[in-house]
Structure 1
Amino acid sequence: MSRYQPPLTLTTRILALIAEISEQIGQLTALDERLQTPQLRRSNRIRTIHASLAIENNTLSIEQVTAVLAGRRVLGLPREIQEVRNAFATYEALAEWRSSSRADLLRAHELLMGGLIDDCGQFRRAGVGIYRGEKLVHMAPPPSRVAHLMDDLLAWLGDSDWHPLIVSCVFQYEFEFIHPFADGNGRMGRLWQTLILSQWRSVLAYLPVEAVIREQQDAYYAALSAADHLAESTPFVEFMLQALSVALKEAAATESVTDPVTDLVTDPVGKLLAALHVNGPLKISDLMAEVGLVHKATFRANYLKPALAADLIEMTHPESPSSPAQKYRLTPHGKQTAARLKSA
Structure 2
Amino acid sequence: MTSADHRAWPALEHETLEWVPASAWGLAAGADGRGLYDAAAPAFIAARIPDLSAPLVAEAGAATSELARFDAELGSRIQGFAPLLLRSEAASSSQIENLTASARAIFSAELGASRSRNAELIAANTRTMTAALDLADRIDADTILRMHAVLMQDQPRHTPGAWRGEPVWIGTRSDSPIGADYVAPHHARIPALIEDLTAFARRPDLPPLVAVAIAHAQFETIHPFSDGNGRTGRALAQAMLRGRGVTRNVAVPVSAGLLADVDGYHQALTSYRAGDPAAIVSAFAHAALRAIANARQLVAEIDATRGRWETQLTVRRSSNAWRLLDVIVRRPVIDAETAASEIGAQRPNIYPPLQALVDAGILKPKAEHRLGPFWRSDEILAALDRFAERAGRRNATGRITRRS
Q: 1:49 aligns with which of 77, 87, 90?
A: 90
Distance, in Å, in 1 between the alignment partners of 2:67 and 2:244 is 11
Distance, in Å, in 2 between the alignment partners of 1:187 and 1:329 is 28
Letter in 2 for 1:96: L
In the alignment, structure 1 residue 111 sits paired with structure 2 residue 150: yes
Q: CA RMSD in A?
A: 3.5
Residue 124 of structure 1, CA deviation: 1.0
Q: Is the 8 A contact 2:149 2:160 kept in 1?
A: yes
Whether 1:212 aligns to 2:253 is: no
Partner residue in 2 for 1:180: 224
Displacement after TM superposition at 1:197 (Å): 0.3
Q: 1:63, 1:218 → 2: CA distance? A: 28
Distance 1:154 1:162 in 2: 14
1:73 to 113, 118, 122: 113
The amino acid of 1:213's aligned partner reads L
The answer to which structure has the higher helix fraction is: 1
- After TM superposition, give the deviation of residue 316 of structure 1 in Å: 4.5
Whole-angstrom CA distance in 2 between matches of 1:26 and 1:138: 36
Distance (Å, rounded) in 2 between the aligned partners of 1:243 and 1:113: 26
Percent sequence identity is 21
CA contact (8 A) 1:129 1:140 kept: yes
Shift of 1:162: 0.7
CA shift digits 1:287-343 (9 cap, x unpaired): xxxxxxxxxxxxxxxxxxxx98762866645869xxxxxxx9649x99xxxxxxxxx
Task: Give how far 1:140 is off.
Answer: 1.1
TM-score, scaled relative to structure 1: 0.70
Aligned pairs (5 A) from 1:86-235: 86-93=124-131, 94-118=133-157, 119-131=159-171, 136-201=180-245, 202-203=247-248, 205-228=250-273, 230-235=274-279
CA distance in 2, matches of 1:85, 1:3: 33
The farther-off stretch of 244-253 and 129-138 is 129-138
Distance 1:189-1:317 versus aligned 2 partners, 3 A rule: same
Pick the aligned partner of 2:103 from 55, 62, 69: 62
Q: Which amino acid aligns with 1:14?
A: L
> 2 CA distance for matches of 1:132 and 1:43?
36
1:259-298, aligned counterparts within 5 Å? 264-266=302-304
Query: Are 1:32 and 2:74 matched, yes or no?
Result: yes
TM-score by length of 2: 0.61
1:52 maps to amino acid? S
Larger radius of gyration, structure 1 or 2? 2
Partner of 2:202, secondary structure, is: helix
Contact 1:7-1:232 at 8 Å conserved across structures: no
What letter is aligned with 1:139?
V
Show structure 1 runs of 5+ residues with no match: 258-262, 279-306, 321-327, 335-344
List alignment gaps of at least 5 residues for structure 2.
1-43, 315-327, 334-361, 370-374, 382-404
Once residues 23 and 86 of structure 1 are traced to their aligned partners in structure 2, the CA distance between those partners, rounded to angstroms, is: 30
